[in-house]
Amino acid sequence: MSKVVLGGGLSGLSAAYYLSKKIPSQNIALIESSNRLGGWIKSNVLSDGVIFEQGPRTIRPHGEAGANTLSVIEDLGLSDKVVPILLSHPAARNRMIYANGKLHTLPSTVGSIFKKQSPFSKPLIRYLLQDLFAPRKNVPDEPIYDFVSRRFGQEFADYLISALVCGISAGNSKEISVKFLMKQMFEYEQKYGSISKGLVQNIFKKREKNGVKRPTVESQTGTMECVFS
**194 neighbors 128 (Cβ within 8 angstroms):** no
Burial class (CB in 10 A: 0-12, 13-18, 19+), 119: middle
* 44, pLDDT greater than 70: yes
* 39, pLDDT greater than 80: yes
Position 23 scores a pLDDT of 87
Average pLDDT over residues 152-177: 88
Average pLDDT over residues 20-30: 88
CB environment 177-186: b (16+ within 10 A), e (fewer): ebbebbeebb
Separation CA 137–CA 190 (nearest Å): 7
* 101, pLDDT greater than 70: yes
Position 213 scores a pLDDT of 55
Q: Which of 10-24, 27-41, 51-65, 188-202 has the lowest mean pLDDT?
A: 51-65
Query: Left if phi > 0, otherwise alpha if psi is -120 to 50, otherwise beta: which for 55?
Result: left
Residue 84 to residues 67, 79, 81, 185, Cα–Cα distance (Å): 15, 11, 10, 29
Domains of the chain, each with CATH number or no CATH: 1-39 (no CATH), 43-85 (no CATH), 94-229 (1.10.3110.10)
pLDDT, tens digit, for every residue of 196-218? Answer: 999 988 887 777 776 655 454 44
For residues 3 and 213, the model is more confident at 3
For residues 227 and 119, the model is more confident at 119
For residues 182 and 206, the model is more confident at 182
Across the chain, mean pLDDT equals 84
Radius of gyration of the chain (CA): 22
* 7, pLDDT greater than 70: yes
* 229, pLDDT greater than 50: no
Separation CA 122–CA 114 (nearest Å): 9
Q: What is this structure's pTM?
A: 0.62
Question: In one letter, which amino acid is 102?
Answer: K
Average pLDDT over residues 133-150: 94
- Measured at the alpha carbon of residue 9, what is the angle toward residues 27 and 24, in degrees to the nearest 5? 20
* 227, pLDDT greater than 70: no
**190 neighbors 182 (Cβ within 8 angstroms):** no
